[in-house]
Amino acid sequence: MSGLHPYTQLALATLLPALAWLVPGPRAPAIALAAAVALVLGTPRPLRRLAAVAVAAAPFWLFLFLLHPPARAALVGLRLTTLLGAAAWVGALLAPGRLVEALVARGWSARAAYLLGGTLAAVPLVRAHARRIGEAQRCRGLATRGALVTRLRAVHALVLPLVLSVLHQLDERVLALETRGLGAAVHRTPLDPPADSPAQAAARWGAAAACLAALAARIA
Amino acid sequence: MTRLSLERVSFWYPASDRPALCDVSLRVGRGEIVALVGNVGAGCSTLLCVAAGLAPRVTGGRLDGRVECAGPETAGGGRVLLLPAPWTQLSGMGVTVRDEVAFGPANLGWPLERIRVAGERAMARAGVADLADRDPLTLSGGELQRVMLAGVLTMEPALLLLDEPTAELDGDGAAALWAVAREEAGRGAAVLVATSDLDAVPDLASRVVWLADGAVRADGAPAAVFADDAIWREGPGGPAVADVWRAAGLAPPWPVSVTAAARAR
């Protein structure tokens, strides 16, 4: 799956939640969720990702069951969890650099492509930065582990420096990217555009057609 | 031949009434290395941003005066700025160091073969050829800064702007970077470097520009600029060798490098 063209990965990640939301009844979201879980199981460290999906979905399920009848709550919960599962799958596989290469190869400007890919690329950078801030704060005596109350108390000491430093880094990153020609008025050379195939293109069109058909059936 | 010319340049950041640069005039010629020194907040980084064409175009703000840079902007021979912190310069687009180094010339639309050749050469010069297949996110700060240096060298700049480039480097790494700066000047590039590594300045630069509160306080040969007592009292000081001479109560001009001190003895 990691060798698929980024467009195909995105199409598949969009197809599952789209069908889960558009097709009436609980069967489609259940199948879509099962498919999303199966996809996540094929990624590196799958149990960790599934646990993250479960943790993210849990509050939604809780409030859905508090606010809606059980059948309705389960239906919406399945749909939301499918969305989170598909996002976890594509987040694990989609390399920002490959996405940018694919977009540039299709004629997008480097700046517009970077706007999309750079957002994804920032995730590991911010995560690494947050880890460094956490280590620095622990060196200064802040307790960030242990009981939930202790962790909650530490949040503001971690979040504030993270937000401020990310904003500062954003300024510097813009300068660094501009000086390396991101805003140049020429078309970027694709270095290693991801391979595509007629079968993948057909699958993407098929996914789009399935979504449109489901939408049409829903409206009718 | 002048590569960079600043004529009476003043610059204000957005929402600031106080100029970050004040009536600065400066010329840097082909093959010349000029060192910018000053206290924190003196305006060295701002001057580099102005010289790089990033201020006010990217930073916003207002600029008075004239900035001219000779050399084409997009086909190599342009101006490139290396910032002090390597983490903020990562494009995030490169799975490997080789991809990261190729980011700049790819943006300039160079043909693939030229990018590959220039990239391999730049990585070798920056001493990161053995890291070519590594993930940039797994590198140390010093390794990453050398990768960023390779990234700017790949673009074959006519004007190389360095902002505290040795901040993440150890002694050997700093010496290697200064050697690369001298090579760049040797191939005809103009090099403007803001640094607090004052011991390196006399052997590196033919001229020193002392900035204070955004204005040029002194501009001349290292020995002449560091012979002024004012730079020791109100500015960043000078090389350690000269400081020893001063502390001993000897009269200026003080030697500014170990070689000059040996000769003076």
Closest CA to A19 of A207, A199, A220: A207
Query: Would you say residue A1 lies in a domain?
Result: no
Domain that holds residue A86: 6-94+197-219
Query: Would you say residue A128 lies in a domain?
Result: yes
Query: Would you say residue B133 lies in a domain?
Result: no
pLDDT tens for B228-250 read 999 999 999 999 999 999 999 98
Q: Do A90 and A13 fall into the same domain?
A: yes
The alpha-carbon gap from B188 to the nearest alpha carbon of chain A, in Å, equals: 20
Q: Do A114 and A157 fall into the same domain?
A: yes
Q: Do A202 and A134 fall into the same domain?
A: no
Q: Do A51 and A108 fall into the same domain?
A: no
Query: Would you say residue B41 lies in a domain?
Result: yes
The alpha-carbon gap from B263 to the nearest alpha carbon of chain A, in Å, equals: 42
Strand partners, B67: B6
Q: Does B18 touch chain A (CB under 8 A)?
A: no
Residue labelled with tokens 């190389």:
B160
Query: Would you say residue A191 lies in a domain?
Result: no
Q: What is the CATH number of the domain that holds B221?
A: 3.40.50.300
Closest CA to A94 of A122, A124, A117, A77: A117
Query: Would you say residue B151 lies in a domain?
Result: no
Closest residue to A191, CB basis, from B54, B89, B102: B102
Q: Do A37 and A72 fall into the same domain?
A: yes
- Binary contact (B74, A179; C-beta < 8 A): no
* Mean pLDDT value across chain A: 90
Which pLDDT does position B262 carry in this prediction? 86
Query: Would you say residue A184 lies in a domain?
Result: no
Please list the ranges in chain B whose pLDDT falls under 70.
71-77, 265
Q: Does B43 touch chain A (CB under 8 A)?
A: no
Q: Do A106 and A41 fall into the same domain?
A: no
Closest CA to A6 of A216, A220, A204: A204
Query: Would you say residue A188 lies in a domain?
Result: no
- Binary contact (B74, A128; C-beta < 8 A): no
State which residue of chain A sits closest to B53, comparing Cα positions: A179
Query: Would you say residue A70 lies in a domain?
Result: yes
pTM, full prediction: 0.83
Dihedrals phi, psi of A213, to nearest 5 degrees:
-65, -45
Distance in angstroms (rounded) separating the CA atoms of residues A93 and A82: 17
Query: Would you say residue A122 lies in a domain?
Result: yes
Query: Would you say residue A187 lies in a domain?
Result: no
pLDDT tens for A147-165 read 778 877 788 888 888 888 8
Domain that holds residue B9: 1-71+158-173+188-265
Query: Would you say residue B104 lies in a domain?
Result: no
Q: Do the Cβ atoms of B194 and B48 come closer than 8 Å?
A: yes
Dihedrals phi, psi of B98, to nearest 5 degrees:
-60, -45
Closest residue to A178, CB basis, from B54, B109, B110: B54
Query: Would you say residue B76 lies in a domain?
Result: no
Query: Would you say residue B45 lies in a domain?
Result: yes
Please list the ranges in chain A whose pLDDT falls under 70.
none
Q: Do A62 and A87 fall into the same domain?
A: yes
Which pLDDT does position B74 carry in this prediction? 43
pLDDT tens for A99-140 read 988 998 888 888 888 888 877 777 777 888 888 888 888 898
- Binary contact (B99, A191; C-beta < 8 A): yes
Dihedrals phi, psi of B117, to nearest 5 degrees:
-65, -50
Number of domains in chain B: 1
Number of domains in chain A: 2
Q: Do A41 and A81 fall into the same domain?
A: yes
Which pLDDT does position B265 carry in this prediction? 67
Distance in angstroms (rounded) separating the CA atoms of residues A164 and B109: 35
What 8-state DSSP symbol labels residue A142?
A: -
Q: Does B120 touch chain A (CB under 8 A)?
A: no
Q: Do A172 and A214 fall into the same domain?
A: no
Distance in angstroms (rounded) separating the CA atoms of residues A117 and B104: 16
Q: Do A18 and A67 fall into the same domain?
A: yes
